[in-house]
Amino acid sequence: MEKLTKDLKENVQYFKGLFKDCDDILFREIEIGDEHKVKIIVIFVDGMANKEFVSDSAIQSLFWKDDLNHIPVDETYELFFNRIFKEAIASAELKKEDKIETIIDNILSGDTALLVENMDKCIVIGSRDGPSRSIEEPKTETVIRGPRDGFNEIMKFNLALVRRRIKDPKFKVKFKQVGRRSRTTVAVLYIDDIVDKKLLDEVKKRLDNVDIDAVLDSAILENLIEDNYLSPFPQVENTERPDSVAAALYEGRVGLIVDNSPFALIVPATMGTLIQSSEDYYERWSQTTIIRIIRIIAMFLSFTAPALYIAITAYHPGLLPTKLIYFLAASRINVPFPSVVEAILMELTMELLREAGTRVSGPIGSTIGIVGGLIIGQAAVDAGIVSPLMIIIVAVTTISTFAIPSYEMATGFRTVRFTFIALAGVLGLYGVVLGIIVLLSHFIILSSFGIPFTSPFSGLGIEEGDLKDTLVKAPIQRLWLRPGFTNPKNKRRMRGHKK
């Protein structure tokens, strides 16, 4: 069956057969009319639809509307159906529908279907109202100054949070269904007269090409649409903050909000955007500039610090001042392992602690911190298994990974860190540089939706002055152009100083 038939019984039979053993789907049969009775069936999902709303504005109003119940003898079902549609149901979202597939989709999303006797159409009442979390402060991207609202799992709230920041009819929201079984709604967000058409088409094309049975979170969608899924580095940005999404849209990028996920996706993502955090724009430019530079150093340290330690202690002690070298040698004199083993040992311990710490929370979590950080560290040094400098290096490395705003980016660096340790163990400083060559090559080859990942450092957007908002952060008055890497249709943000 593709469309509804005129026979109510057959229709209901079909739905009952389809929803067999789905005990959470309710069928409510009502009859209205004084002398001439008309049968109506109401179908909705318990818990997904707002039951109170369905009772009040759909069922009750049918019963209580007097002239509706006086059905003239000569009235056709068609006229009666239209009367219900126009006069009887007090709902803001209402539509007629005859395609069964759409009706099923709507019912399962929380809408209510109203089937009327002898009609091959039904009324779909928008009654979606599932369980939801209230709007809370984002857990992953906290700010000292700036808005504190974060996304939750309900898409319509998330969209509203973004819409509140862009009151412009040019701000478009396009829905797409992804996932054969999960039928997850994905909203494509963009500002029509800023976004590059090619980018938008590419995003839509990739969404259409997704073929999977379920998309449970935006992370799954992210993996399915990114350019290189084998890379340890993300090519899609994600955020819990509506202000970040709005800012990205104003830059000419495309946002994706996935139902049931508090993380919105932003494409394209580049090296430049992954070192920006939303707080950068709420603080004074001078401070942010320093923080940006610190982040770049942190990025570098997060994968090279232990490798550099190994290279210098094992291969090139001459690089350091003589006094420091003596101190280093003295502190390592009791350590029975070569520095590579020492570094791998400590890095593994650190990863272990981090993993244990993220899985448990609350009082046990702090115990892990104390036992892991303080006791193991101190004991390892006292026992002479590692040198105190190694502990410092490991700590610096770990803290560096936390200083990178994008968690996924930091994870990528964490993963490659072990390769660098091995390279430093085999070839010293030369090995580290070879590793950097390969890593840089990888970054240079990577692209995000056709935009080079290394932008703006590899040329795209340099002329528009993208470095002013990536390497440093210029005052807002100086950022009168939108970033160039997105090829925005509308380049100006404000009247600038130059032409």
**Could you say whether residue 486 binds another protein (CB under 8 A)?**
no
Four-CA torsion 180, 198, 240, 216, nearest 10 degrees: 10
Torsion over CA: 383, 387, 388, 393 (sign):
negative
Q: What is the nearest approach in angstroms of another protein to the Cβ of residue 451?
A: 10
User: Which positions from 143 through 172 interact with another protein, judged by CB under 8 A?
Assistant: none
Binding span for another protein by CB under 8 A among 7-15, 41-49, 135-143, 435-443? 435-443
**Could you say whether residue 408 binds another protein (CB under 8 A)?**
no
**Could you say whether residue 450 binds another protein (CB under 8 A)?**
yes
Instruction: Find the binder of another protein among 51, 176, 442, 491 (CB under 8 A).
Output: 442
**Could you say whether residue 428 binds another protein (CB under 8 A)?**
yes
**Could you say whether residue 460 binds another protein (CB under 8 A)?**
yes
User: Which positions from 76 through 115 interact with another protein, judged by CB under 8 A?
Assistant: none
SS (H, E, C) the chain: CCECCCCHHHHHHHHHHHCCCCCCEEEEEEEECCCCCEEEEEEEEECCECHHHHHHHHHHHHHHCHHHHCCCCCCCHHHHHHHHHHHHCCCCCEEEECEHHHHHHHHHHCCEEEEECCCCCEEEECCECCCCCCCCCCCCCCCCCCCCCCCCCCHHHHHHHHHCCCCCCCEEEEEEEECCCCCEEEEEEEECCCCCHHHHHHHHHHHHHCCCCCCCCHHHHHHHHCCCCCCCCCCCEEECCHHHHHHHHHCCCEEEEECCCCCEEEECCCHHHHCCCHHHHCCCHHHHHHHHHHHHHHHHHHHHHHHHHHHHHHHCHHHCCHHHHHHHHHHCCCCCCCHHHHHHHHHHHHHHHHHHHHHCCCHHHHHHHHHHHHHHHHHHHHCCCCCHHHHHHHHHHHHHHHCCCCHHHHHHHHHHHHHHHHHHHHHHHHHHHHHHHHHHHHHHHCEECCEECCCCCCCCCCCCCHHHHCCCCCCHHHCCECCHHHCCCCCECCCCCCC
**Could you say whether residue 412 binds another protein (CB under 8 A)?**
no
**Could you say whether residue 196 binds another protein (CB under 8 A)?**
no
Nearer to another protein, 234 or 268 (CB): 268
Q: What is the nearest approach in angstroms of another protein to the Cβ of residue 437?
A: 5
Q: What is the nearest approach in angstroms of another protein to the Cβ of residue 272?
A: 12
Please, which residues have CB within 8 angstroms of residue 199's CB and are 6 or more apart in sequence?
252, 253, 254, 267, 268, 449, 450, 451, 486, 487
Nearer to another protein, 375 or 445 (CB): 445
Instruction: Find the binder of another protein among 319, 348, 360, 364 (CB under 8 A).
Output: 319
**Could you say whether residue 440 binds another protein (CB under 8 A)?**
yes
User: Which positions from 32 through 61 interact with another protein, judged by CB under 8 A?
Assistant: none
Instruction: Find the binder of another protein among 430, 480, 491, 493 (CB under 8 A).
Output: 430
Please give the Cα distance from 62 to 79 (Å, whole number): 15
Binding span for another protein by CB under 8 A among 46-54, 171-179, 371-379, 436-444? 436-444
| Furthest-apart CA atoms within the chain: distance in Å | 107
**Could you say whether residue 365 binds another protein (CB under 8 A)?**
no
**Could you say whether residue 339 binds another protein (CB under 8 A)?**
no
**Could you say whether residue 201 binds another protein (CB under 8 A)?**
no
Please give the Cα distance from 41 to 60 (Å, whole number): 14
Q: What is the nearest approach in angstroms of another protein to the Cβ of residue 427?
A: 7
**Could you say whether residue 488 binds another protein (CB under 8 A)?**
no
Binding span for another protein by CB under 8 A among 90-98, 114-122, 124-132, 443-451? 443-451
- How many residues can be counted in the chain? 499
Q: What is the nearest approach in angstroms of another protein to the Cβ of residue 92?
A: 43
Q: How many residues bind another protein (CB under 8 A)?
A: 37
Binding span for another protein by CB under 8 A among 4-12, 133-141, 241-249, 455-463? 455-463
Q: What is the nearest approach in angstroms of another protein to the Cβ of residue 498?
A: 18
**Could you say whether residue 437 binds another protein (CB under 8 A)?**
yes
**Could you say whether residue 303 binds another protein (CB under 8 A)?**
no
Instruction: Find the binder of another protein among 457, 466, 469, 483 (CB under 8 A).
Output: 457
Binding span for another protein by CB under 8 A among 29-37, 216-224, 317-325, 409-417? 317-325
- Asked whether 394 and 414 are in contact (CB, 8 A), the reply is no
**Could you say whether residue 338 binds another protein (CB under 8 A)?**
no
**Could you say whether residue 438 binds another protein (CB under 8 A)?**
yes
**Could you say whether residue 441 binds another protein (CB under 8 A)?**
yes
Nearer to another protein, 26 or 434 (CB): 434
Q: What is the nearest approach in angstroms of another protein to the Cβ of residue 304?
A: 11
**Could you say whether residue 444 binds another protein (CB under 8 A)?**
yes
**Could you say whether residue 322 binds another protein (CB under 8 A)?**
yes
- Amino acid code (one letter) for 245: V
User: Which residues sit at the interface with another protein, rule CB under 8 A?
Assistant: 202, 227, 315-316, 318-322, 427-434, 436-438, 440-445, 447, 449-450, 452, 454, 457-460, 462-463
